[in-house]
Structure 1
Amino acid sequence: MMVLVLLAASARAAVFNPETTTLSNGMQVVLVENHRAPVVTHMVWYKAGAADEVPGTSGIAHFLEHLMFKGTKDIGPGEFSKIVARNGGQDNAFTTWDYTAYFQNIARDRLGMVMEMEADRMQNLQLTDKVVLPERDVIIEERRMRTDNNPSALLGEQMRNALFMQHPYGRPIIGWLHEMQQLTTQDAMAWYKKWYTPNNAILVVAGDITMAELKPMAEKYYGGIKGHDVPKRVRVKEPTQHAPRKVTLTDARVGQSSMSRYYLAPSYNTEHADEAAPLEVFSEILGSGTTSRLYKTLVVDQKLATTAGSFYDPVAMDLSTFGFYAVPRDGVEMADLEAALDDEIAKTLKEGITQKELDEARQRLLDSAVFARDSLSGAARTLGEALAVGLSVDQVENWPDRINAVTVEQVNDAARAVLDDKRSVTGWLLRPKGAKGPGMPTAPVTGEMETH
């Protein structure tokens, strides 16, 4: 799974070797040197995401991400990306529940240019109804295309809302439609002024530059921006859950039926954080790739599914999710597939994993970390994501040690603690019998984060 590769990228303790410093205004600066080519990835991360929104304004974090491209006094609406492109670079941004990030991939000798532009919109964003209201229509259309017209996305949204009964992780990042329709210029500027300040931001640069070169540039472009106090990020605690939930969505647009299941799980920031590394190993064993237990049982041996797997992402401010997905073969009833999945999970929990499985899974995770080291953006994203949710550089760099220290007993104990049906939601995505037409391609609902 992509999530495991991303997490494994954080294992490059012998490769990342990041340098860090902090500007006088509180902005953290992180550098990963890579001199293979004269290019850099430049990222600015803000520690504010959809889970920080005030109830009733869902989608404002993602909306402001769009509006950050709408101009300042010196750069007109839409010009930011055009300038980057004219200089041979690429740029974009993404919003999650825990953070919002902006990035550019560009030649080393253009780094100062993008730093100047990013610093400009950090402090000088100008918004009016003339640009905000049409962009509101854009995000509404984005929701319609990506969620409302996509049955698997709709199911995932409903499943998360059922899984997180109280926590804001149950809100969609893009927002609820009826609340998005009410977002205003004032809402956007309030969010901007509340969270977008250098002491709430992290600058991550990866590529062909040294800290001796980067720090003066960071001071020049970002160091003069005055910071301000930001509110404490208050997250409500999820209440005790007493019963499993089931969500079924039947839609003629479904191309292929599928099923998914989410469990509440710890992250590296929560109680029982010591279970996170064992759960990463467990997910690798049970549901990662064609050699995993689920794939061999459901796809190869029993021939009930065309694909099956697991997913887990422990990099979050609060609780995470551990889950499974499977797509039935033609003619296989979903109830039979779910029963087979349950049987394999129960067997694994009862018998436990073996030392051989642990050794092989651990090696695959560490190998994937080595393979991922060539990616500039992967290095920058792994570090930025971790820091934005409150983890430290040392926690990122020490990831291989945690994986190497995992024991069979820890994996089995963590799996038995987390795979508790009372803390789960199962989703069925069904194509009606007799539905005509091919339907939409169906991706398994894995609960991964939404990006722009």
Structure 2
Amino acid sequence: MKKSLVSFAVAVFLGVAMNAQQIKFEEYDLPNGLHVILHQDNTAPVVTTGVMYHVGSKDEVKGRSGFAHFFEHLLFEGTPNIKRGEWFKIVSSNGGQNNANTTSDRTYYYETFPSNNEQLGLWMEAERMRHAVINQIGVDTQREVVKEEKRMRMDNQPYGNLLPAILNNVFTKHPYHWPTIGSMEDLNAAKLDEFLEFYKKYYVPNNATLVVAGDIKPEQTKKWIEDYYGGIPKGVKYDKSFPKDDPITQEKEVTVTDPNIQMPAYLFAYRTPSNKEKDGYVLQMLSSYLSNGKSSVLYKKLIDQEKKALAVQAVNLGMEDASIFAFFAIPMGATSKDTLKADIDAEVKKIQTELISEEDYQKLQNQFENQFVNSNSSIQGIAASLATYNVLMGDTNLINKEIEIYRSITREDLRKAAQKYLNTNQRVIINYVPEKK
């Protein structure tokens, strides 16, 4: 009886939490194609204005990689109405904060202001969209900034080029095979006209979603949006079909060196479907089962019990067109790659042949329920989620119903995904080793 009461209490709590989690929003399109999402929450006097452009590193052409990330920096240079070097000063002097980030699939810019400066945030993002200043001095300045970022985060960082090593070997035809930061050689070779053309091509209203979230009055916000964005000309909508890679049908092994490491790392990477497909969600859950936390399968076996690895992880890198599921391991002491590979393969084989326990399955469901309850805990986070679900997933309301997809995943689904995508003939083995002196 006591157990039933506890279960009932948990169910009631989760039910209340699910209802409380509902994010209300309104969305519509301007005649120029700009998609607008409004979320009103008057509990705190802050407003986030974010614009997500459906352009990432996959939209670049071969020989000109790194443009999308470069624009993440370049578009803070200013506009005819915001002098060079003034962007961040305007934001901070008005009590705000701002940032931008880029992935292979999209670029996102945002400002968060006290709600009495909502209009300022809307105006600044409209300035960026309408007529950002792109000139030689800005290109030269930001090129050096990006070079320094690459040196700090990748070239001089232990294991800093792991992700490029995976991308370059799992993808060969699709532009996912180069990293978001791109090649410095490509950026050095690019001419000003090419940067201007990239801006004209992708930074247009019909390739963007505007999100305004927080302490707003929707009718006033709509009027400001019409005033600032309504007159920005519509751009040409470009096709987003990219070369597809042939299926991996035979195990491939490559070696990549890193001068910044003393211990090797071994990666076993598989190409998997788009994160929009249900199997993308299944694989995300599978990665959590294998390595999320100290009670996970691989951590418990290879680190805690057998002490064969210093680090081990199963990672699901979900992307719009195709994804990557990869195992990463750093051996402990004299543990060989073959030993790590055999142990990881054994755990995969178990999932392929047996259903995970009901207890482990329930723990997984609880983890994802908990993540859902705790997600979108800030206005800034809600704005980013609304934009992401709209631009990359094609359904803004996934912010409320994505948990239903995870709830629908069964133990059989986990087994089928492992059987379908995690076979040894479908992978690339990457030996990431120290560079010989």
**TM-score, normalized by the shorter chain, greater than 0.5:** yes
Cα offset, 1:142, TM superposition: 2.4
**Equivalent residues in 2 for 1:175-254, closer than 5 Å:** 175-254=182-261
Corresponding residue for residue 352 of structure 2: 349
Which of 283, 287, 291 pairs up with 2:287? Answer: 283
Range 105-114 or range 374-383, more displaced: 374-383
Range 414-423 or range 136-145, more displaced: 136-145
- List per-residue Cα deviations over 1:20-64 (Å, max 9, x = no partner): 122232211112333332112221011111101122211111122
1:85 aligned to 2:92? yes
CA distance in 2, matches of 1:58, 1:312: 24
Q: Residue 15 of structure 1 contacts residue 373 of structure 1 at CA under 8 Å; is this kept in 2? A: no
> One-letter code of the match for 2:29?
T
TM-score by length of 2: 0.90
> One-letter code of the match for 2:117?
R
Q: Residue 267 of structure 1 contacts residue 317 of structure 1 at CA under 8 Å; is this kept in 2? A: yes
Change (3 A) 1:321 1:226: same
1:332 aligned to 2:339? no
Larger of the two Rg values belongs to structure: 2
> One-letter code of the match for 2:369?
L
Q: Residue 253 of structure 2 contacts residue 428 of structure 2 at CA under 8 Å; is this kept in 1? A: yes
CA RMSD for the aligned pairs? 2.2
Change (3 A) 1:218 1:174: same
CA distance in 2, matches of 1:265, 1:236: 16
What SS does the corresponding residue of 2:161 show, helix, strand or coil?
A: helix
**Long gaps (5+) in structure 2:** 1-17
The percentage of aligned residue pairs carrying the same residue is 33
Q: Residue 48 of structure 2 contacts residue 212 of structure 2 at CA under 8 Å; is this kept in 1? A: yes
CA distance in 2, matches of 1:380, 1:313: 22
Corresponding residue for residue 417 of structure 1: 420
> One-letter code of the match for 1:416?
Q
Corresponding residue for residue 125 of structure 2: 118
Corresponding residue for residue 400 of structure 1: 403
Change (3 A) 1:328 1:213: farther
1:16 aligned to 2:23? yes
Cα offset, 1:73, TM superposition: 1.2
Range 192-201 or range 249-258, more displaced: 249-258
Aligned residues: 420
1:388 aligned to 2:391? yes
Runs of 4+ in 1 over 4 A off after TM superposition: none
**Long gaps (5+) in structure 1:** 1-10, 436-452
1:298 aligned to 2:337? no
Cα offset, 1:169, TM superposition: 0.5
**Equivalent residues in 2 for 1:350-389, closer than 5 Å:** 350-389=353-392
1:165 aligned to 2:172? yes
What SS does the corresponding residue of 2:159 show, helix, strand or coil?
A: helix
Q: Residue 348 of structure 2 contacts residue 418 of structure 2 at CA under 8 Å; is this kept in 1? A: no
What SS does the corresponding residue of 1:398 show, helix, strand or coil?
A: helix
Q: Residue 383 of structure 1 contacts residue 396 of structure 1 at CA under 8 Å; is this kept in 2? A: yes
Corresponding residue for residue 13 of structure 2: none
Cα offset, 1:113, TM superposition: 0.6
CA distance in 1, matches of 2:214, 2:393: 24
CA distance in 2, matches of 1:76, 1:255: 47
CA distance in 2, matches of 1:32, 1:408: 36
TM-score by length of 1: 0.87
Cα offset, 1:325, TM superposition: 2.0
Q: Residue 71 of structure 1 contacts residue 78 of structure 1 at CA under 8 Å; is this kept in 2? A: yes
Which of 310, 320, 336 pairs up with 2:314? Answer: 310
- List per-residue Cα deviations over 1:185-240 (Å, max 9, x = no partner): 11111000011111111011222224334222222221221212221122111212
CA distance in 2, matches of 1:213, 1:285: 47
Corresponding residue for residue 269 of structure 2: 262
CA distance in 2, matches of 1:13, 1:297: 38
Q: Residue 304 of structure 1 contacts residue 332 of structure 1 at CA under 8 Å; is this kept in 2? A: yes
Corresponding residue for residue 8 of structure 1: none
> One-letter code of the match for 1:360?
K
Cα offset, 1:400, TM superposition: 1.6
What SS does the corresponding residue of 1:393 show, helix, strand or coil?
A: coil
Range 77-86 or range 248-257, more displaced: 248-257
Cα offset, 1:256, TM superposition: 4.5
Corresponding residue for residue 80 of structure 2: 73
Range 175-184 or range 162-171, more displaced: 175-184
- List per-residue Cα deviations over 1:381-420 (Å, max 9, x = no partner): 2222222224211344321221111111111101211112
CA distance in 2, matches of 1:367, 1:33: 24
Change (3 A) 1:261 1:89: farther
Q: Residue 287 of structure 2 contacts residue 314 of structure 2 at CA under 8 Å; is this kept in 1? A: yes
